[in-house]
Structure 1
Amino acid sequence: MDITTIIGLLAGLAAMVGGFLWEGGSLSGLLQPNAALIVFGGTLAAVLVSFPASRLRSTAAGLRLAFGRRHDTSREQAEELISMAGTARRGGVLALEKRAEEHPDRFTREGLLLVVDGNDPAEVRQILELEMDARELKYEGYAKIFEAAGGYAPTMGIIGTVMGLIRVLSNLTDPSHLGASIAVAFTATLYGVASANLIFLPIASKIKSRCQSELNGMEMLLVGILSIQNGDHPHLVRKKLSSFLPGSTGQEDAGTNPVSPSPGERL
């Protein structure tokens, strides 16, 4: 699990509830099952209407993407590409065939096999960029479901509040309970706005952030694969890939190289 996502959700909930209690509120005043049913049930229904079943089945994948822990392997991938560049310069791209066929990453494997098969560099770039576009569209589809929920939830909260006020105003025989009844009615608005801004929209943003990070890694792999096909020297491949790594400014002559040179790069 991604600890930052969990901490963010818990911190937001704690801040909201803690602030309410600090002002003298009662925890029981926030727990209104009828408001929760209107907001979350209505939001779920609106999302079901908005998307086909095939899209909704990807919700679990979107949650895994947002809450799952991802390890940054960009440096290891960069070093591997640099090593492959050295192998290709010594023995040609055919020397990478076995390594390509057994590579665990599908994007890298397909790119290297395209190179080994002797495809034109422009075709290799086009095929891999299409794969990147497909990945981006898939992740955007995940995010749009949660963005839609984040848009519907506040509206459902307003609907719940209006329904509560209708009930209050239709029964004014006991003015002593009027204030408490109005407060309960506004709980639905709180549920809608809070769930949108603490849950649905942040999850959508996290999915987009993960998407961008993954596309950056794929772009690095694309540059490395094309450099290998072009027969670039490992030092040149290193300079190209360094700008994609975390913490890089693209200025290797400033005294810090994100990918340290290895002793075996001199050819």
Structure 2
Amino acid sequence: MSGKRGLSLIVLVLVAIAFPASGALDEKVALRSSQAAIGRELGDYRLVDSREREVRLSDLRGQPLIVNFIYTGCFQVCPTVTKALAIAVAEAERTVGPGKFRVATIGFNLPFDTPQAMKQFAKQQGISAPNWLFLSPQADTLPQLIADFGFSYEQTIAGFDHLLQASIVDANGRIYRQLYGDRFEAPQFVGPIVELLANAPRALGDVAGLYEQIRLLCTIYDPTSGKYRVNYAVVIEIIVGLSIFLVGIPVLIFEWRRRRRADHPAASG
């Protein structure tokens, strides 16, 4: 055995010992686990953001939340998926407006996915949106965290074989949809966010909120452009219908009172 060949063999053995591989990810099992998480209420986990501030998962309730998992040592798939997610997020914001939902990218490779590493990863992907958090979980709760989300991964010599998954969580902390792949088409990504926002309760008397509710309900997907748009014809029809209804109420009340007086004339003195 030559010296170089022997050295290469030693390196491979050391790598195998340091990073034991448990085999490729079973995609069927992973997908079943992921789908089983739909409808599940997530636990409250403590995480740390890229500015080293504590964030609890419950702090992110109140709005739809999109969550994906990455590891910062990934140099191809995770950056590609994250950039694709950024494109989908931009399209969703164009459709529903900015600040209507949050995004959280969680690093699962501890102890390497530190707040500093997550900050660098975000910078490399060109993401600095205030509603997009890059989070590091706690080592003791990481297994339960990924189990709650139905996320799966297997360690390999090359890194990790993991499910390409983005979870859409409703305002109450329940998983609403699971999306898969390295691209996110508008109907699959924007649609659930529109649904969650359209079904969100609005305060009575909030005219702006009422209009926003109507606008979201009338948002449709245009396959020609590949984007969501508002069908303003339907919006106008609804507004006109509401106006006629509101104007008609006083007329109905007046007619009801007139007939009541006619049926019960006042007694003469």
TM range (shorter): under 0.3
What TM-score, normalized by structure 2, do the two folds share? Answer: 0.25
* Structure showing the higher strand proportion among its residues: 2
TM-score if structure 1 supplies the norm length?
0.25
